[in-house]
Structure 1
Amino acid sequence: LLCGPFSFYYTSVLWEPLFVLLTSCVFLALKRKNYLAAGISSALLSAARPVGVFIVFATVIRMFEEHRERGRPVLSFPRRVLLRPDLLVAILISPAGLFAYMLHLYLMVGDAFAFVLVQRAFGRVTGNPLQFLWDGFSETPTTGWLPTSPQWSAFACVAGLTLSAILAYRRQYGMALFCALGIVLPLLTNLASMVRYVVGLAPLILLSMVLLAKSRLTFYAALVLLPAACYFTTIAWMGGNLALV
Structure 2
Amino acid sequence: MSVLKENKNLKSIKESRDQILPLLYLLLIPLGTISFMVFNFYLTGDFLAFVHGQAAWGRYHGNPVEFLIDGYKGNMYSTFESVFTVISLLIFLLFFKKVRFSYWLFAMYSILVPLSTGIQSMPRYILVIFPLYILFADISKKHLSEDLVTLFFALIQGFLMVFWTNGFNLVI
Q: Does 1:207 align with 2:135?
A: yes
Q: 2:64 aligns with which of 129, 132, 146?
A: 129
Residue of structure 2 equivalent to 1:177:
105
Q: Where does residue 192 of structure 1 map in the other structure?
A: 120
1:103 aligned counterpart, secondary structure: helix
1:114 Cα deviation (Å)?
1.0
2:35 corresponds in structure 1 to 100
8 Å Cα contact 2:103-2:131 kept in structure 1: yes
Q: Does the aligned pair in 2 maintain the 1:167–1:175 contact within 8 Å?
A: no
Q: Tell me how far 1:168 sits from its aligned partner.
A: 4.5
**Cα RMSD (Å):** 3.2
Match of 1:115 among 50, 54, 62: 50
Report percent identity of matched pairs.
25
Match of 1:219 in 2: 146
State the shift of 1:192 in Å. Answer: 0.2
Q: What number of residue pairs does the alignment pair up? A: 153
Write the letter of the residue equivalent to 1:240: N
Change beyond 3 A, Cα 1:187–1:228: closer
SS in 2 for 1:155: helix
- More moved, 104-113 vs 93-102: 93-102
TM-fit CA distance, 1:158: 1.9
User: Residues 74-121 of structure 1, C-alpha deviation per residue, up to 9 Å, x if partnerless?
Assistant: xxxxxxxx95844x4554323333222222212222222111111111
Unmatched segments (≥5 aa) in structure 2: 1-17
Residues 141-198 of structure 1, C-alpha deviation per residue, up to 9 Å, x if partnerless?
7xxxxxx222221122222323443564346222222221211112122100011111
- In 2, Cα distance between the equivalents of 1:112 and 1:128? 26
| Distance verdict in 2 for CA 1:180–1:102, change over 3 Å | same
- TM-score (norm. length: structure 2): 0.69
Alpha-carbon offset, residue 199 of structure 1:
0.8
> Letter of the aligned partner of 1:214 in structure 2?
K
CA displacement at 1:225 relative to structure 2: 6.1
Structure 1 residues 138 and 206: alpha-carbon distance in aligned structure 2, compared to 1, 3 A threshold: same
Q: What 5-or-longer segments of structure 1 have no aligned partner?
A: 1-81, 142-147
Give the CA deviation at 1:239.
Answer: 4.8
C-alpha spacing 1:163/1:84, structure 2 compared with 1 (3 Å): farther
Deviates more, 1:117-126 or 1:153-162: 153-162
Secondary structure of the equivalent of 2:123? Answer: helix
The question of whether the paired residues in 2 share the 8 Å contact of 1:154 and 1:191 is answered with yes
Query: What is the TM-score with the length of structure 1 in the denominator?
Result: 0.51
Structure 2 partner of 1:156:
84
1:1-245 matched pairs, under 5 angstroms:
83=19, 85-86=21-22, 88-139=23-74, 148-165=76-93, 168-170=96-98, 172-211=100-139, 213-220=140-147, 222-223=149-150, 226=153, 229-230=156-157, 233=160, 236=164, 239-241=168-170
**Structure 1 residues 114, 169: closer, same or farther in 2, change over 3 A?**
same
Conserved? CA contact 2:99–2:131, under 8 Å: no
Say which one has the larger Rg. 2
